[in-house]
Amino acid sequence: MKKVLIAATVATLVFAPQAFAQVRTFEGFSVSANANMISATTEISVNNESFNGLGQHSTVASLQAAYGFRATDSVVLSLGGTYNLSDVEAGTVKGTYGSAAFKLQNGTSLYFEPGYLVSDKTLAYLKISYNTGTAKGDSGAQSITKDITGAGLGFGIRADLGKNLFLQVEGTQIQFDSAQFPGDTTNFKSSATVGTVGIGYKF
């Protein structure tokens, strides 16, 4: 029994500091540049008729900033935000009343990200986000905008590349709330599936 206790103590002294050091790889302030592959669509409802926008694909660059807090030797809790550097195509809806092209401008997110260390250099994480942006509808005859909000849920992997660099890959599903353009009775609702690859630097 004494030998078992000694072995356990030695293991704790050897591996606990190492685990702590590994977790520190993912805590603190970080920034990253991301490439986002987005499939988005918009559904509209007007005069008791509903139309689903055809899914449209965009590749959009975004910037990210975050801060990770060590919770345990294996868990890091992060808070952060992202900002899209260009518009996201959100579908073109066609119906008896004409057609309209939708875009999301100034796409922004604030997120909470609990992460778990699955290996010495790899963190798996869940992402829960609050998303905002400006929806733009363009029928050709007129162009109108409306600020919208929504929520996102995603999962990702972040890998330490050494020299404070990291690579991240994630997938997110975003659902925006139903809204109306100013002075219009048309309801619209957008959603998006996002695949992200990014490279970042931890300070």
Task: Report the relative pairing of strands 179-180 and 187-202 from DSSP bridges.
Answer: antiparallel
Question: What domains, with CATH codes, occur in the chain?
Answer: 2-202 (2.40.160.20)
List Cβ neighbours of 128 (8 Å cut-off, separation of 6 or more). Answer: 111, 112, 113, 151, 152, 153
Q: Mean pLDDT per segment of 10 residues, for the chain of length 203 residues?
A: 42 41 82 96 74 78 97 95 94 70 93 95 97 87 87 97 95 93 79 96 94
Strands annotated E in the chain: 28-46, 49-52, 56-70, 75-84, 88-95, 98-119, 122-138, 143-162, 165-176, 179-180, 187-202
* 0.85 surpassed by pTM: no
Tell me if 83 sits within 8 A of 65, measured CB to CB.
Answer: no
Question: Phi and psi of 184, rounded to 5°?
Answer: -130, 145
Q: Give the gyration radius of the chain's Cα atoms.
A: 22
pLDDT computed for residue 34 by the predictor: 98
